[in-house]
């Protein structure tokens, strides 16, 4: 614990103001945690799971399907390749990762003030990903459209508590599957200036993403810097499929970051036990990250973990339960020991609506996410119904919680002002502090202020129409969209992007996959 | 971190079954945490706050109002007593506490299987305390009655996730103020066999509580063991008032435990800053606990902390914000260093209803409560509207979250079965685990099962009436009350209790305070 991180004893008035702004949820490009991560296992337990992961890769191995180039790279690196089954001599995958994968990297945003550092004591919060449905209080649940996609990009841009524009925030189902990625990447680049994620559904869509990034950032800059971070999911157990491998290799070759993520519904894609899920997740992730380093040594890669428990009754994924929280803490520790950034968590729930279930479950995921020291947080805002739906109200409710996390991780202000000893000395027993000079000087920034919570008296709340949290949230996102102003963009760049999108769309017929 | 706590490598079938039952939320008398507490400050920061607390007691001191006996005891112990103001030579209060106050103690329940250990790696979860109003989905919000009180005692008894019957779970407003405590203590002793809390509103009501405990446990047993733990609140800043001091001395003299709790609305009863709240809380608590040790050296006392932030707009208390969470983590660490058990937290919220605000805020209090290593948790279930209301639906929702905490703190099972390596070795890549022998053997106990959450498909949820969490919770508590069966009690003991209550009630006219 570095106490000097907490003390803000000098630096004058401007430094104090900046510290205060930071302490109280003002917009920062990413969070910087001042406390060590929470640990649920010690050295012995963690090394046991590491050993098991190495054994899994040695004895069972992974299948790398439909990608001869991946097999060639792995064979040349010393793996035992039998058809598409790849077994790693004990410790090989780990050593391939540790040899060159960076512990931390910067993902550049088109607005340099919004570039994010992924790794170390930092946390980057990104919105929901992948929902085919959208929900709002008035319209209910319906298929998501490109307009919804653009709306969520705008909301993530407008939120001071989200640091990243995300990727497939929702599926724009009104656009053909093989052309969606062009509209999505364009929306991220046009309606936000926060960093974003690229397409992964096919190698050529990943290539389109890189091309569009080159238009904005310049080809040389892209070759030397991460400007896209994209989500590569395993087909667990122990399979990497052709489309994900194609996208992974495309991004890695272009020096762009990937989040290599085993997606585990425990009991289906892995054993039902926490230690089993963790060993298999680590094995799969190390195999995938090793491949990124073989494609281009030193390319940034994030170890991702997505694990949910399961309903005994229906086999449906369940969220906010203690077992995935344990997995999250263990995986964060394993990623730290491996030496790569970690992605997990978010505001996950199985609830269909923005009720108490949704909030309990989301909090039971987001708190461990933050306390584990997660570096990149997908699904930090908006998730409903096991990810099938993104909610407008849920989005701003979750973003509010993200704001609180941002204040929390700044820790305790131990400056003279924070200690408040003069105020205590001047205040006789039994005399309240409401009028004290210290209170008046600090009141405005002393506490996180939620836009969603109602703290008024019961009587006032009754008078104001007995609104619940979702009704208040509905007003918040509508106001945010109404007040949205697009960040500036060079008209030439915008034109080049639009031209690229139009050209690529015209080059192929609409397709359903 | 003690890894051996996690490994359950031997012990045969019965041990494994017991371990599983424990791992998955079966009823245990209290929780035993397997992980070290989360820390937000290091040695330097914590000792700075300790130093400030000592300085506050030295320079400002506390007022002990209306209690000459307390002043006498403090003066004789070396404190500087000026009227009712008591200043402590630097470090005196700390050394009085550390000389004799126990780090851990057992509170005995009338059913010995339900006795709780308060301190060490253990956590005891107790229900809501002190609400004048009650709320349920059908009846809305109304004044609480004795019937409500009895209902909540029954619900806490029936819940496998609460370990304690609590105290003034709600105010039975249909009983005269000066007689309520008799009905409340009787209800705890008759409708539950879990440990309970006594009356603190006057010294003679504390004495009645002790008398009733003697009827149940025997006078000799009570003199040698804690059978009541009661809540003593400071009148912050830096005041202990006569009624609380009277109750504190009564319990301490009878060798019964107290929770010595500064109740802080930051900005009103203390400075607005986290470090200021912590220093003042520690000072007030040390002064109060020191008095318990002067009354009867070695009597158990718990350091309590209740701190809320404040709405800038209205001055109302706010909950679930990051500042009180920081206070909680710091105070837990300070209590550990002082060497006494710690009470804080719960499922706190300012929300008037069981909506997403209520759940986010409750989770944002309960998670820190557990991760800080809190030993005694009041308000773990039921709290609404800043404590003004206890909700039936909220009660069972919160209890469900308590159940999840119970599983979480058990940590990761690292037994052979938990590691699941044989299952992974036997399962080829791409083959799901739903039918594997390991899954079938573990499925039933693998995951915490919520009674409140709905994890079904959207379509099924629609078909079943689109119920939200509170509608499902309503069914849960109604079923629990319908199925409630009182624990057995010796008829002679019951008769003696009823006789005592009747005699005491007859001995005084009804009063409003």
Q: Which residues of B touch A363 (CB under 8 A)?
A: 359-360, 363-364, 367
Q: Are B215 and B247 in contact (CB under 8 A)?
A: no
Reported as a pLDDT band with limits 50, 70 and 90, residue A26 is low
For the cut 50, the answer to whether the pLDDT of residue A186 exceeds it is yes
DSSP bridge pairs for B131: B170
Q: Which residues of A touch B323 (CB under 8 A)?
A: 407, 446-448
For the cut 70, the answer to whether the pLDDT of residue A227 exceeds it is yes
pLDDT digits over B59-110, tens only?
Answer: 999 999 999 999 999 999 999 999 999 999 999 999 999 999 999 999 999 9
Flag if B237 and A429 touch (Cβ within 8 Å): yes
Weakest mean pLDDT among B6-15, B49-58, B172-181: B6-15
3-state SS string for B381-435: CCEEHHHCEEEHHHHHHHHHHHHHHHHHHCCCCCCHHHHCHHHHHHCCCCCCCCC
Q: Please, what is the average pLDDT of chain A?
A: 94
Could you tell me how many residues make up chain B? 513
Q: Which residues of B touch A262 (CB under 8 A)?
A: none
pLDDT digits over A366-425, tens only?
Answer: 999 999 999 999 999 999 999 999 999 999 999 999 999 999 999 999 999 999 999 999
Residue A429 is nearest to which of B63, B266, B405, comparing CB atoms?
A: B63
Residue A267 is nearest to which of B238, B446, B455, comparing CB atoms?
A: B446
Q: Are B170 and B132 in contact (CB under 8 A)?
A: yes
Higher-confidence position of A69 and B2? A69
Nearest CA in chain B to A46: B3
pLDDT of residue B512: 84
- Residue % of chain B over a pLDDT of 70: 95
∠ CA A165-A197-A176, rounded to 5°: 100
pLDDT of residue A91: 96
Provide the shortest C-alpha distance from residue A198 to chain B (in Å): 26
Q: Which residues of A touch B418 (CB under 8 A)?
A: 273-276
pLDDT of residue B431: 96
* Residue B73 tokens, joined: 């005891």
Flag if A443 and B312 touch (Cβ within 8 Å): yes
* Rounded CA separation A323/A333 (Å): 16
For the cut 50, the answer to whether the pLDDT of residue A5 exceeds it is no
> In the predicted model, what is the mean pLDDT of residues A215-225?
98
Flag if B421 and A276 touch (Cβ within 8 Å): yes
pLDDT of residue A9: 35
Provide the shortest C-alpha distance from residue B454 to chain A (in Å): 6
Tell me which of A277, A316, A360, A370 to substitute to probe the interface with B (most B C-beta atoms closer than 10 Å): A360
Cβ-count burial of B464 within 10 angstroms (0-12 exposed, 13-18 middle, 19+ buried)?
exposed
> In the predicted model, what is the mean pLDDT of residues A27-48?
96
CB pairs under 8 A between A and B: 444
* Rounded CA separation A87/B101 (Å): 59
Residue A371 is nearest to which of B38, B423, B452, comparing CB atoms?
A: B38
pLDDT digits over B13-72, tens only?
Answer: 444 444 444 445 557 999 999 999 999 999 999 999 999 999 999 999 999 999 999 999
pLDDT of residue B313: 77
pLDDT of residue A313: 77
Flag if B404 and A455 touch (Cβ within 8 Å): no
Nearest CA in chain B to A133: B458
* Rounded CA separation A240/A347 (Å): 26
For the cut 50, the answer to whether the pLDDT of residue B1 exceeds it is no
> In the predicted model, what is the mean pLDDT of residues A73-89?
98
Q: Which residues of A touch B237 (CB under 8 A)?
A: 424, 427, 429-433
Q: Which residues of A touch B267 (CB under 8 A)?
A: 433-434, 439, 443, 446-447
Nearest CA in chain A to B356: A356
* Residue A268 tokens, joined: 């289906």
* Rounded CA separation A250/A208 (Å): 10
Q: Please, what is the average pLDDT of chain B?
A: 94
Higher-confidence position of B148 and A18? B148
Q: Which residues of A touch B466 (CB under 8 A)?
A: 352-353
Q: Which residues of B touch A412 (CB under 8 A)?
A: 40-41, 45, 274-275, 278, 326, 330
CA dihedral A96, A99, A105, A108 (to 10 degrees): -70
For the cut 60, the answer to whether the pLDDT of residue A24 exceeds it is no
pLDDT digits over B474-489, tens only?
Answer: 999 999 999 999 999 9
DSSP bridge pairs for B265: B308
Reported as a pLDDT band with limits 50, 70 and 90, residue A314 is confident
Q: Are A273 and B446 in contact (CB under 8 A)?
A: yes
- Residue % of chain A over a pLDDT of 90: 93
pLDDT digits over B320-376, tens only?
Answer: 999 999 999 999 999 999 999 999 999 999 999 999 999 999 999 999 999 999 999
pLDDT digits over B119-143, tens only?
Answer: 999 999 999 999 999 999 999 999 9
∠ CA B482-B488-B493, rounded to 5°: 130
Flag if A326 and B408 touch (Cβ within 8 Å): yes
pLDDT digits over B252-311, tens only?
Answer: 999 999 999 999 999 999 999 999 999 999 999 999 999 999 999 999 999 999 999 998
Flag if A456 and B360 touch (Cβ within 8 Å): no
pLDDT of residue B3: 36
Weakest mean pLDDT among A443-447, B183-187, B209-213: A443-447
pLDDT of residue B6: 35
Flag if B418 and A276 touch (Cβ within 8 Å): yes
Residue B427 is nearest to which of A3, A237, A432, comparing CB atoms?
A: A237
Tell me which of B351, B424, B449 to substitute to probe the interface with A (most A C-beta atoms closer than 10 Å): B424
Provide the shortest C-alpha distance from residue A163 to chain B (in Å): 19
For the cut 80, the answer to whether the pLDDT of residue A278 exceeds it is yes
Flag if A275 and B413 touch (Cβ within 8 Å): yes
> In the predicted model, what is the mean pLDDT of residues A488-492?
97
> In the predicted model, what is the mean pLDDT of residues A52-74?
98
* Rounded CA separation B46/B330 (Å): 7
Q: Which residues of A touch B428 (CB under 8 A)?
A: 60
Flag if A60 and B425 touch (Cβ within 8 Å): yes
ipTM score:
0.95
* Rounded CA separation B449/B456 (Å): 13
Weakest mean pLDDT among A306-320, A457-471, B206-220: A306-320
* Rounded CA separation A498/A187 (Å): 11
Where on the phi/psi map is residue A475: left (φ > 0), alpha (ψ -120 to 50), or beta? Answer: alpha
pLDDT of residue A27: 76
DSSP 8-state secondary structure symbol assigned to residue B140 = E
The bridge status of strand B301-304 relative to strand A122-125 is unpaired
For the cut 60, the answer to whether the pLDDT of residue B10 exceeds it is no
B209-218: long-range contacts, CB 8 A cutoff, minimum separation 24: B209/B181, B209/B185, B210/B250, B210/B251, B210/B254, B210/B256, B211/B500, B212/B182, B212/B185, B212/B186, B212/B497, B212/B500, B212/B501, B213/B256, B215/B493, B215/B496, B215/B497, B215/B500, B216/B110, B216/B189, B216/B493, B216/B497, B217/B108, B217/B110
Buried b (16+ CB within 10 A) or exposed e, B333-369: bbbbbbebbbbbbbbbbbbbbbbbbbbbbbbbbbbbb
Residue B448 is nearest to which of A238, A279, A322, comparing CB atoms?
A: A322
Nearest CA in chain A to B417: A273
Q: Which residues of B touch A141 (CB under 8 A)?
A: 458
pLDDT of residue A18: 45
DSSP sequence for A213-237: HHHHH-HHHHHHSB-BEEEEE--SS
Provide the shortest C-alpha distance from residue A190 to chain B (in Å): 33
* Rounded CA separation B338/B57 (Å): 15
Predicted TM-score (pTM) above 0.90:
yes
- Residue of A173, A219, A176, A181 lying closest to A197 (CA atoms): A181
Flag if A356 and B354 touch (Cβ within 8 Å): yes
């Amino acid at each position: 614990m570095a106490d000097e991180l907490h003390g803000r004893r000098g630096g004058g008035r401007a430094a104090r103001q900046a510290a205060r702004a930071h302490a109280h949820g003002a917009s920062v490009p990413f969070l910087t945690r001042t406390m060590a991560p929470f640990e649920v296992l010690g050295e012995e337990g963690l090394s046991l799971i590491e050993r098991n992961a190495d054994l899994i890769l040695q004895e069972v191995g992974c299948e790398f399907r439909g990608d001869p180039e991946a097999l060639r790279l792995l064979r040349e690196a010393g793996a035992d390749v039998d058809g598409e089954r790849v077994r790693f001599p004990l410790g090989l995958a780990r050593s391939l990762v540790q040899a060159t994968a960076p512990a931390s990297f910067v993902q550049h945003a088109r607005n340099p003030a919004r570039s994010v550092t992924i790794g170390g004591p930092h946390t980057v919060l990104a919105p929901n990903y992948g929902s085919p449905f959208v929900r709002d209080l008035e319209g209910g649940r319906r298929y998501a459209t490109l307009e919804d996609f653009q709306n969520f990009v705008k909301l993530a841009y407008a939120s001071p508590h989200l640091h990243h524009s995300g990727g497939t925030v929702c599926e724009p189902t009104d656009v053909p599957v093989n052309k969606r990625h062009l509209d999505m990447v364009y929306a991220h680049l046009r309606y936000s200036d926060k960093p974003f994620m690229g397409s992964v559904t096919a190698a050529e869509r990943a290539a389109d993403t890189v091309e569009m990034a080159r238009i904005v950032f310049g080809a040389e800059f892209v070759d030397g810097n991460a400007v896209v971070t994209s989500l590569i999911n395993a087909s667990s157990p122990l399979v990497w499929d052709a489309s994900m491998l194609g996208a992974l290799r495309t991004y890695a070759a272009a020096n762009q970051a990937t989040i290599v993520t085993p997606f585990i519904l425990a009991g289906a894609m892995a054993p039902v036990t926490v230690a089993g899920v963790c060993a298999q997740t680590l094995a799969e992730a190390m195999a995938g990250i090793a491949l990124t380093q073989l494609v281009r040594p030193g390319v940034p890669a994030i170890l991702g973990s997505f694990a949910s428990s399961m309903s005994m009754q229906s086999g449906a994924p369940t969220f906010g339960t203690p077992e995935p929280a344990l997995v999250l803490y263990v995986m964060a520790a394993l990623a730290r020991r491996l030496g790569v950034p970690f992605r997990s968590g978010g505001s996950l729930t199985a609830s269909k609506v923005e009720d108490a279930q949704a909030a309990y479950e989301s909090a039971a995921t987001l708190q461990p996410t933050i306390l584990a020291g997660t570096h990149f947080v997908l699904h930090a805002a908006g998730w409903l119904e096991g990810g099938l739906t993104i909610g407008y109200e849920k989005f701003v409710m979750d973003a509010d919680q993200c704001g609180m996390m941002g204040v929390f991780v700044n820790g305790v202000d131990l400056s003279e002002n924070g200690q408040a000893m003069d105020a205590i000395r001047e205040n006789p027993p039994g005399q309240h502090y409401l009028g004290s000079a210290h209170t008046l000087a600090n009141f405005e920034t002393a506490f996180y202020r939620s836009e969603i919570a109602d703290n008024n008296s019961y009587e006032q709340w009754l008078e104001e129409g007995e609104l619940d949290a979702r009704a208040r949230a509905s007003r918040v996102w509508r106001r945010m969209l109404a007040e949205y102003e697009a960040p500036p963009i060079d008209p030439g760049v915008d034109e080049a992007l639009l031209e690229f999108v139009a050209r690529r769309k015209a080059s192929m017929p609409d397709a359903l996959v």
